[in-house]
Amino acid sequence: MAKIFTYAIFLNMSNSSKNRNGHLIGTIESPCVKTCKLDIKGTYCIGCLRTRSEIAVWSSSDDETKREILKRVEQRIHSVLPDQG
């Protein structure tokens, strides 16, 4: 079940909104699926496949950094969960 949710985070990972002045503000949703537990090696969260440091910086990161994190997570999906690619 966690495999399906982890892979599904990429189907709807971003949306846009506008600030008071009408300028677009990009917002990228967290890939957290509320299955917060590190793998046996303590490397990745088994729910979202982010590292501890990626999880720690998420809320203070700009959209570019979040996209970079999501790209790394996508690569992990293909290496850790090859049947999902």
Taking only the tens of pLDDT, the chain with its 85 residues reads 444 444 444 444 444 555 555 544 568 999 999 999 999 999 999 999 999 999 999 999 999 999 999 999 999 988 876 665 5
- Whether this prediction's pTM lies above 0.95 is answered by no
How many domains does the chain contain in total? 1
Task: Tell me which residue range forms the domain holding 35.
Answer: 2-84
Position 43 scores a pLDDT of: 93
H/E stretch holding 66 reads: helix 63-80
**Which residues touch 63 (CB under 8 Å, ≥6 apart)?**
14, 26, 27, 28
Position 27 scores a pLDDT of: 82
Measured in whole angstroms, the distance separating CA 77 from the mean position of its chain's CA atoms is 11
C-alpha 80/C-alpha 77 separation (Å) is 5
Closest among 64, 38, 57 to 49, alpha carbons compared: 38
